[in-house]
Structure 1
Amino acid sequence: MSSRIVVGYTATDAGADALALGARLALASDSSLHVVVVLPGEERSVITPPDAGYDRYLREQAEEWLTGAAATVPDAVRVRTHVRFGESFAAGLLDTAHDVNASHIVVGAANGGRRGRHRLGTVASELLHSADVPVVLAPEGARRIDPTSGITRITAAIGLRPGADLLLEESVALATATGAELRLVSLVAIDLPAGIAGNESAASHADEVFVHARRSLPKGVDAEAVVGLGDSVEDAVAHLSWEPGEIAIVGSSRLARPRRLFLGSTAAKMLHELPVPMIVVPRTRKKKKGAEA
């Protein structure tokens, strides 16, 4: 059974970025796409009391947006659209993801971000501190990349902390599904005192990380291993090579609750300089169930 990808859509550039990235992922992995607009639920503020006529107008407008959005998705992608009511946009996306048993939720950057970079808005921030499925962050400008261009490389930022094995498993699965190359990056060689001793210690730790990771790779799967060097996380990320069709994948912070996301400090710093989409995965996995495509 193919995977299902949920896209949080708004009629904005950020919504177009999320939709384009979601379509590219769906096409590359033979997944179906569920495009969602979330409207305020019944438990709304007293400032905006329920009004049947206004609610009907909002729904019609949302359906019109979704029709236009679906028309931009390549014909080869199976698309379903949803108008969802929820206490928040993030809550509505999570509810939809649970209903369709989605593998990922895709959202765009907040307004005002630099082209090709991330700027977390309210929806992304809420998802990154509560979601129990991987969240895909589309950088500003993702809409300008042809959805048919595919996914060329999956870069996993790995370490030895709890959850690393699951992160590697998710990275291998995504690389296999999309036909992309797999690259393992260690950012442990950062924030260390300058000097040979610090660099040697970092390199030794990176070697340990890569040895452990390669032992965990399935038979027949290979991966390039690269150490990110720099005076800071941002500096290390900026000095790595990144392809236009690449996606980075990181694990949730060790502070996360079981089966929930929590954006760690390293991942948050990576976002400042990362020019490609980022996927954040929970440290532990919940049991999957079947669902209709």
Structure 2
Amino acid sequence: MKIEHVLAGFIPESRGKEGLALAVRMARQAGARLTVAYVHPPAWTTPGPAKIDAEWRAYVAEEAALTLDQARRLLSEVDDVPIDYLLHGNRGSGRGLVQLVGKTKADVVAIGSAPGGGRGRIRLGSTADQLLHASPVPVALAPKGYGDESSAGIRRLTVAYRRDPASDEAVRQAAGLAAQMGVPLRLITLVVSGGRQARMEREMLERLREKVAADLKAAARGHRRVQVEVEVLEGKDVAAALGGTDCGGAVLICASSETGPLRRVFLGDISSKIIRSAPCPVMMLPRNPPKKPGSGVKQGKP
């Protein structure tokens, strides 16, 4: 994975600010450009009285312009990231962002949490739901209140690992991104029951060390050395397991469900629980993302 272009979905609410904060941090550390987009309601498709149609179009245009002006004000002090602003019409904000991914050739799309969730947690709304079942590129979700803390950047990438090909691919993709951002990589496995299963998961991670080291060496070639940590997190549920580690300054990366469509993000049951329980931003990867020509990231064999 290599990020050269970040697409941020913006709305004139606090969650719009949270998504912007995550998008800026990702773009800054990846040396990428940023496009801030507002998906507004489209013009009426059913013809009506000319005056009403004109008034509606004028109202939509004015509200959209005001929304992008708010985004510009929020980012007025960001002078180290190239930023573009874009308007797009669609009845569904998530579907509109999927369209913009294709139009702008973005490598990742970032949004904030839906309203109503607890501080430091991610709540999935209709926009996230549409993205998490259709986006051809990774979807990054910022928790409520993200960006309010003093930390100015992403300090670590963490991969939620499970024993399947999708997670092996996620490790390779995350290794390339960690090398690009100049941050360490951590692999975690969540164990929500004790006894024999916990011992098996620990043994699995020990066997994974040598393979991951080889994948990381290939992915980081030409970049700075990537430090790798491996950790088993145990608890009575996903939230308790994630609560047993330091997630400060981290982005948690998850692979899509293997039952979803190819080259699309698809949210499975475990990933859904991780998103709702994680105290940090979460990035969902699509299944088998296309390789970018000239990315410089060498892929290992699955």
- With normalisation by structure 1, the TM-score equals 0.88
The CA distance in 2 between the partners of 1:167 and 1:84, in whole Å, is 31
Q: Could you list the per-position Cα deviations for residues 12-50 of structure 1 after superposition, in whole angstroms to 9, with x for gaps in the alignment?
A: 001111011111111111111111111123576899x97
Cα distance, 1:2 vs. partner? 6.9
Determine if contact 1:37/1:62 at 8 Å carries over to the other structure. Answer: yes
Q: Which residue of 2 aligns with 1:272?
A: 276
Q: Which residue of 2 aligns with 1:35?
A: 36
Q: Which residue of 2 aligns with 1:9?
A: 10
Q: Which amino acid aligns with 2:12?
A: A
Q: Secondary structure at the match of 2:234?
A: coil
> Cα–Cα, structure 1 residues 238 and 45, in superposed 2: closer, same or farther, change >3 Å?
farther
The CA distance in 2 between the partners of 1:125 and 1:217, in whole Å, is 32
Cα distance, 1:249 vs. partner? 0.5
Match of 1:152 among 151, 155, 167: 155
Q: 1:152-171 residue pairs with structure 2 within 5 A?
A: 152-171=155-174
Cα distance, 1:98 vs. partner? 1.1
Match of 2:184 among 162, 181, 185: 181
Q: Which residue of 1 aligns with 2:207?
A: 208
Determine if contact 1:109/1:137 at 8 Å carries over to the other structure. Answer: yes
Q: Which runs of 5+ in 1 are unaligned?
A: none
Q: Which residue of 2 aligns with 1:233?
A: 238
Q: Which residue of 2 aligns with 1:65?
A: 67
The CA distance in 1 between the partners of 2:203 and 2:67, in whole Å, is 53
Q: Secondary structure at the match of 1:170?
A: helix
The CA distance in 2 between the partners of 1:272 and 1:89, in whole Å, is 21
Determine if contact 2:3/2:108 at 8 Å carries over to the other structure. Answer: no
The CA distance in 2 between the partners of 1:61 and 1:289, in whole Å, is 39
Q: Which residue of 2 aligns with 1:172?
A: 175
Cα distance, 1:221 vs. partner? 3.0
Q: Is 2:120 aligned against 1:128?
A: no
Q: Is 2:146 aligned against 1:142?
A: yes
Cα distance, 1:97 vs. partner? 1.3
> Cα–Cα, structure 1 residues 45 and 273, in superposed 2: closer, same or farther, change >3 Å?
farther
The runs of at least 4 aligned residues of structure 1 exceeding 6 Å deviation read none
Q: Could you list the per-position Cα deviations for residues 113-145 of structure 1 after superposition, in whole angstroms to 9, with x for gaps in the alignment?
A: 111101101000111011110000010001314
Q: Secondary structure at the match of 1:240?
A: coil
Determine if contact 1:33/1:77 at 8 Å carries over to the other structure. Answer: yes
Q: Secondary structure at the match of 1:81?
A: strand
The CA distance in 2 between the partners of 1:99 and 1:129, in whole Å, is 18
Q: Percent of counterpart pairs with the same letter?
A: 29
Q: Which residue of 2 aligns with 1:23?
A: 24
